[in-house]
Structure 1
Amino acid sequence: MRLRPPPGALPAATLAAGALLSLTATAAPPDRKTESDLPRAAPDVPAGASTGEAAGERIDAGLGTPTEAAAQGNEAAAAQPLPPPVKPGVELAARPPPLHVEYVQYGVALVAEISLDPGAVCPRSGPLYSCILGSGGGLAIRGGYRSPGPWYFGGAYQFTKMDSSNLYRLGIFQQLRAEMRYLPDIGYRAAPYFSAGIGGIVYGNEWGVETGGALIFSGVGVELEVSRRAVLGVSCVYRPVLISGWKDTANYERATAIAQFVGFELLLEVRTELGRR
């Protein structure tokens, strides 16, 4: 036997359900979602396709499941070589430009004259075998102009006490020279240089003049810049000397000859600034 609801029960239930829904809507307002919060469809899944269909298409295409694809991507990333580490850039300090300063450069030097060959001044036989012009040592005084570039031009006076085999009490060999140096800029305090020059000589007993002649020379050296205004240096030069014939104090006639010397210098020079370019 089928029971029937009492008359009026259905409308009352409908009213009660409507009142309950209205209260629920007032107490909890609908959550407003922004466009960014809305789920987006995967770019490789066509609209209207379900997740299962998309996964099936990936499997059918040989791509595997999403988990397998992620694992394959991680393996591929691990197989790629790591890029080399990037070293921080280090800027080398640029070399400062030269000062381009002009100087007057002057100083003194301890010198040694080593006789290589006295020539006809000291023949190897006969009564003139005793050599009146041997090796010796002395002092040089010089001064000149140092350009802003690599050049030096100046003059020097040098005297040396020579070994005269006791034919002279004090044999003094004097030189007056014009000289130049070429000093390339290599960026260090110690710099090599090339030197050359010409000059004249006189020779005699106790500062006397009994003979004279001319000389040329060329050589190399090293200059050490102790400070901006002082330099130390050493040099070696080859010096052929033309000496005219003369009669010495023992009344021996000495023939005109070309004597050859090697000179060594230990020099100390000072600079005085003239100006800047």
Structure 2
Amino acid sequence: MRSRPPPGALLAATLAAGTLLSLTAPAAPPERKPESDLPRAAADAPAGARTGEPAGAATDGGLAEGAAKNAQGDESAPAQPLPPPVKPRVELAARPPPLHVEYVQYGVALVAEISLDPGAVCPRSGPLYSCILGSGGGLAIRGGYRSPGPWYFGGAYQFTKMDSSNLYRLGIFQQLRAEMRYMPDIGYRAAPYFSAGVGGVVYGNEWGVETGGALIFGGVGVELEVSRRAVLGVSCVYRPVLISGWKDTANYERATAIAQFVGFELLLEVRTELGRR
């Protein structure tokens, strides 16, 4: 009599055989998805990124391929030159426009009159050799109109005590002048200017008038704007003076002459605003 295997033994043998077959069978290749199923970003990626190659290698390969096509005369893919580098544009800050203001400008100045040549007033020989009109120093008072532009027009009164070689107790040389200045705008507080003018002179002992004449002058100077209403300056002018003949206190006859002077000024002036344009 043949023995029958138990019912559970057949099921266990079947499971063991299936497990052994699954371990020994080769793995099936993964299913490849079509290009349409890939994400758009992956489709747009460089060929090297999709194939697993480095991006630089793909780019170098594309450039090499383009160069080869150009060498073969392929006009469909011409080489594109690199654009020139663009330099950044530097904007310079523009200087603000000047204030168009009118002023009344007035002040005082310490002056020095240096005699270059007294002319026939002091001959170099004879009894009139002692010079009655030498160098001196004094004070000037002036005032005028300062336009919104570079011009100044005004007047000045100046008196100087001159060296008279003791022929006068107090020889006073007085001037009354009309003046103008041209001051170009250079954008700084210190600005140069050119000056010129004409006027009249009188000369005598102790503020007396014994002779007179006329003068002209021209010179240069520098004006420093200490504040909006105050300026300091220095100037140098050349001043020829025509002096008529006269009889001095020693009863000597002095001839008509042209005396030449160089004047130096250290000035302080203030401004009073008139209006704006």
TM-score by length of 2: 0.72
- The CA deviation at 1:106 is 0.1
Cα 1:42–1:161, aligned 2, differ >3 Å: closer, same or farther? closer
Q: Which residue of 2 aligns with 1:51?
A: none
Cα 1:92–1:174, aligned 2, differ >3 Å: closer, same or farther? same
Alignment of 1:211 onto 2:211:
yes
Q: Which residue of 2 aligns with 1:226?
A: 226
Distance 2:36 2:44 in 1: 16
- The CA deviation at 1:42 is 10
Q: Which residue of 2 aligns with 1:119?
A: 119
Cα 1:86–1:171, aligned 2, differ >3 Å: closer, same or farther? same
Q: Which residue of 1 aligns with 2:165?
A: 165
- The CA deviation at 1:73 is 2.0
Letter of the aligned partner of 2:115 in structure 1?
S
Q: Which residue of 2 aligns with 1:37?
A: 39
Letter of the aligned partner of 1:193 in structure 2?
Y
- The CA deviation at 1:229 is 0.4
- The CA deviation at 1:90 is 5.2
- SS where residue 249 of structure 1 aligns? coil
Distance 2:103 2:199 in 1: 23
Q: Which residue of 2 aligns with 1:181?
A: 181
- The CA deviation at 1:37 is 2.2
How many residues of Structure 1 are paired with residues of Structure 2 in the alignment? 222
Q: Which residue of 1 aligns with 2:102?
A: 102
- The CA deviation at 1:198 is 0.1
- SS where residue 148 of structure 1 aligns? coil
TM-score by length of 1: 0.72
Q: Over aligned residues, Cα RMSD in angstroms?
A: 3.3
* Unaligned stretches of 5+ residues in structure 2: 1-32, 48-52, 64-81
Q: Which residue of 1 aligns with 2:249?
A: 249
Distance 2:208 2:178 in 1: 22
* Unaligned stretches of 5+ residues in structure 1: 1-30, 45-65
* Partner deviation per Cα, 1:224-274 (whole Å, 9 max, x = no partner): 001110000000000000000000000000000000000000000000000
- The CA deviation at 1:85 is 9.6
Distance 2:115 2:192 in 1: 25
Listed as ranges, the matches of 1:255-270 within 5 Å are 255-270=255-270
Letter of the aligned partner of 2:212 in structure 1?
G
Q: Which residue of 2 aligns with 1:196?
A: 196
Alignment of 1:73 onto 2:48:
no
Q: Which residue of 2 aligns with 1:240?
A: 240
Distance 1:212 1:119 in 2: 15
Distance 2:200 2:45 in 1: 102
Alignment of 1:128 onto 2:115:
no
- The CA deviation at 1:169 is 0.3
Letter of the aligned partner of 2:220 in structure 1?
V
Q: Which residue of 2 aligns with 1:150?
A: 150
Distance 2:175 2:122 in 1: 20
Cα 1:149–1:42, aligned 2, differ >3 Å: closer, same or farther? closer
* Partner deviation per Cα, 1:99-131 (whole Å, 9 max, x = no partner): 110000000000000000000000000000000
- The CA deviation at 1:94 is 1.9
Letter of the aligned partner of 1:220 in structure 2?
V
- The CA deviation at 1:43 is 10
Conserved? CA contact 2:46–2:58, under 8 Å: no
Letter of the aligned partner of 1:236 in structure 2?
C
Distance 1:41 1:154 in 2: 83
Cα 1:43–1:256, aligned 2, differ >3 Å: closer, same or farther? closer
Cα 1:98–1:165, aligned 2, differ >3 Å: closer, same or farther? same
Cα 1:36–1:273, aligned 2, differ >3 Å: closer, same or farther? farther
Letter of the aligned partner of 1:179 in structure 2?
E
Q: Which residue of 2 aligns with 1:6?
A: none
Distance 1:111 1:42 in 2: 88
